[in-house]
Amino acid sequence: MDMAELDYELPSELIAQQPIEPRDASRLLVYRRDSATIEHGTFSDLPGLLGDELVVVNDSRVVPARLRLRRASGGAVELLLLEAVAGEGMWEALARPTRRLRAGERVGPVELLEPLGDGRWLIHLDGEPNGDAPLPPYIQEPLRDPERYQTVFARDPGSAAAPTAGLHFTAGTLADLELVRVTLHVGLDTFRPVAGTVLEEHVLHGERYEVGETAWSRIASAHRVLAVGTTTVRVLETVARGGELCGRTTLFVTPGFTFRRVDALLTNFHLPRSTLLALVMAFVGVEEAREIYRVAVDRRYRFYSFGDAMVVL
């Protein structure tokens, strides 16, 4: 697939800089696949739009993973903790700038152990992560309340970015839904831009996931499953293909993919040239997704992490 097919024009003012209050007041675009029709509402309408769908969410909690540090020379270094690895205090991290860093160097509470390529380092961190919320670079305004970059059902720390489709839920919205939790710790695969000109040449490094036995039993036997977010899709489709209930997934969902367990999808509006947009195109169709995004731009929906949502039924 040519990367040009994953492009679209987005006015910068449509990139949401702050979460809306209350959470479920965000707008909701509804796409019905059987009729290829688009409707418009608010997120609080979601329970009334669903039938017998089992709603599956990613309950990973975002780590305060952005560490702003200084080298002994005084130069600034920013580390983004991507994933905890084997060994107490051991992390894989993304460093910026990375060129002048050296193995063995000490930067505040961090010891740089080994370069892993593409700006990634194996590090040792003293104590627990105590940085800032790892907001994406397109969000320029400071976040007033760090908990707004967590879902209300987040409980298992480990993500370097929020599973943003879940940010719209409130306790009241959840009370009206049949809910199951899975976990995928969002790491480099979810937010790393696609390099190159052909989508299929992009390589995923893998992200950790876990599904409880009882949860999978309910998911496997459900008449219909609504996946909340692209990370949830990757978990469900990994296990549906014979993957273990606990492991790493490198599943790359691109147009032409056959979905075995996801029947409906709730997601935000994603960046151009991203693996997340490719997954949406795989689920609804390439031209259908392009039309949905065209309508969303025309209707002035808010985009990206703190933006509005769409549900595909």
Residue range(s) defining the domain that contains residue 34? 3-62+135-312
Q: Is residue 139 part of a domain?
A: yes
Q: Is residue 245 part of a domain?
A: yes
- Same domain, yes or no, for 235 and 184? yes
% the chain with pLDDT above 90: 91
Q: Is residue 86 part of a domain?
A: yes
**Is the pLDDT at 195 greater than 90, yes or no?**
no
Q: Which residue has the tokens 């320029």?
A: 140
| Number of domains comprising the chain | 2
- pTM here is 0.95
Q: What is the pLDDT of residue 203?
A: 86
127-165 residue pLDDT tens: 999 999 999 999 999 999 999 999 999 999 999 999 999
Q: Is residue 190 part of a domain?
A: yes
Residue 134 CA from chain centroid, whole number: 12
Which residues are within 8 A (CB) of 124 and not within 5 positions of it... i.e. 6 or more apart?
A: 87, 89, 90, 91, 110, 111, 113
CB-side exposure of 105: number of CA atoms within 13 Å? 18
Q: What is the pLDDT of residue 86?
A: 87
The β-bridge relationship of strands 224-228 and 207-210 is: unpaired
73-120 residue pLDDT tens: 999 999 999 999 988 999 999 999 999 899 999 999 999 999 999 899
CB-side exposure of 268: number of CA atoms within 13 Å? 25
- Same domain, yes or no, for 216 and 201? yes
- Same domain, yes or no, for 208 and 293? yes
Q: What is the pLDDT of residue 192?
A: 79
**125, 146, 164 - which closes a domain:** 125
The β-bridge relationship of strands 53-58 and 37-42 is: unpaired
Q: What is the pLDDT of residue 189?
A: 82
Between CA 57 and CA 227 the distance in angstroms is: 7
CATH code: domain of residue 76: 2.40.10.240
From residue 258, alpha-carbon distances to 76, 135, 282, 310 in Å are 46, 32, 8, 21
230-272 residue pLDDT tens: 999 999 999 999 999 999 999 999 999 999 999 999 999 999 9
- Same domain, yes or no, for 155 and 292? yes
Q: Is residue 249 part of a domain?
A: yes
Q: Is residue 163 part of a domain?
A: yes
- Same domain, yes or no, for 142 and 284? yes
Dihedral sign of CA atoms 62, 64, 68, 72 in order:
negative
- Same domain, yes or no, for 92 and 113? yes
Q: Is residue 130 part of a domain?
A: no
Q: Is residue 246 part of a domain?
A: yes
- Same domain, yes or no, for 209 and 268? yes
